Amino acid sequence: MLQAPSLKKGDQVTIISTARKISREEIEPAIKMLESWGLIVNLSAALFEEDHQFAGSEFARTKALQNALDDKQCKAIICARGGYGTVQIIDYIDFSFFELHPKWIVGYSDVTVLHNHLQEDIRAESIHATMPINFPKDGKANNATESLRKALFGEDLKYQFKAETGSFLKEGNYSGKVVGGNLSILYSLTGTVSQVNTRGNILFFEDLDEYLYHIDRMMMNLKRASMLDHCIAILVGGMSDMNDNEIPFGETAQEIILRNTKSYGYPVIFGFPAGHIQENLALILGRKADLKIKGKQIELTFHGRA
């Protein structure tokens, strides 16, 4: 896997939006915090363009991402927010310069399109983490921003948490690349060149504001596409603000996920602090991690470099 160089003070990072529109006011706290880390913050020329809900037209967003990828001075690309739109531009991007000069690409939610394309088509690592739209408005670092800083600057990431009730746990030590992202996006990429490869890997996913029946539909899709067959473990992040119909589906999101995965026999761990939640801890997708399970205590460790 291609690994981007760790950042150092004085490096330039570029904020872009591949999906929903954003304002300067919304990202001002992030700019200040990134600068406090010693980074030079460059804003994409088209960052504040608007085209209905999007941060500019497909052409403008494609050009913004391409320019950032091809910019020798840019050492990391940080997506301002998610929403929808990254899939509209992914097939127009030329990664030739990036393959010779890899750099970090950061984001979550709709940015899952970029993450999976990078891992499966380009064979490069990327960072699933909080975005400028989510940086604390008071300017004070939290666990999410601190984990992003560590990931960017090449520090080891070690997370300890307690698995939520309902997890299917098997004590032991596991090791594999962490892959995945937003469940709805993983579902939408099935059958494309950007489809996630789960074989021998730790699959992470999370989601927001979905109907429970659709969680089942997506899990059935992953199952029928053999994407659940050969995982070594599943980490489930926030399944936030789930919806139900007037006639209840009859299961929670956790119960739906467990019903679709328990028969495989590998651990299915609920409660990893990442996703559309405040404590959205950074994950280095495409990088090998060590997963330790003892009772309900879980430890996930990414090492600074392979």
12-152, CATH topology level: Rossmann fold (3.40.50)
Backbone angles phi, psi at 96, to 5 degrees: -60, -45
Terminus-to-terminus CA distance in the chain, angstroms? 9
Give the homologous superfamily in CATH for domain 157-302: LD-carboxypeptidase A C-terminal domain-like (3.50.30.60)
Take residue 17 and report the two structure tokens written for it.
């939006």
Q: Which residues of the chain have pLDDT under 50?
A: none
Helices of type H across 43-111: 58-70, 86-89, 96-100
Query: What pLDDT is attached to residue 108?
Result: 98
Is the separation of the CB atoms in 13 and 5 below 8 Å? Answer: no
Backbone angles phi, psi at 208, to 5 degrees: -145, 140
What are the boundaries of each domain within the chain?
Answer: 12-152, 157-302
Is the separation of the CB atoms in 238 and 270 below 8 Å? Answer: no
Query: What confidence tens digit (pLDDT) does each residue in 142-166 have?
Result: 999 999 999 999 999 999 999 999 9
Query: What pLDDT is attached to residue 305?
Result: 63
Query: What confidence tens digit (pLDDT) does each residue in 90-137 have?
Result: 999 999 999 999 999 999 999 999 999 999 999 999 999 999 999 999
Report DSSP letters for 230-289, one per residue: T-SEEEEEEEES-B--SS--SS-HHHHHHHHHGGG-S-EEE--S-SSSS----EEETSEE
Q: What is the rounded distance in angstroms from the CA atom of residue 286 to the CA atom of residue 180?
A: 9
Query: What pLDDT is attached to residue 306?
Result: 53
With H, G, I as helix, E, B as strand and everything else as coil, classify residue 143. helix
Query: What pLDDT is attached to residue 303?
Result: 77
In sequence order, which residues have a C-beta less than 8 Å from that of residue 62 and are 6 or more positions away? 89, 92, 93
Is the separation of the CB atoms in 152 and 100 below 8 Å? Answer: no
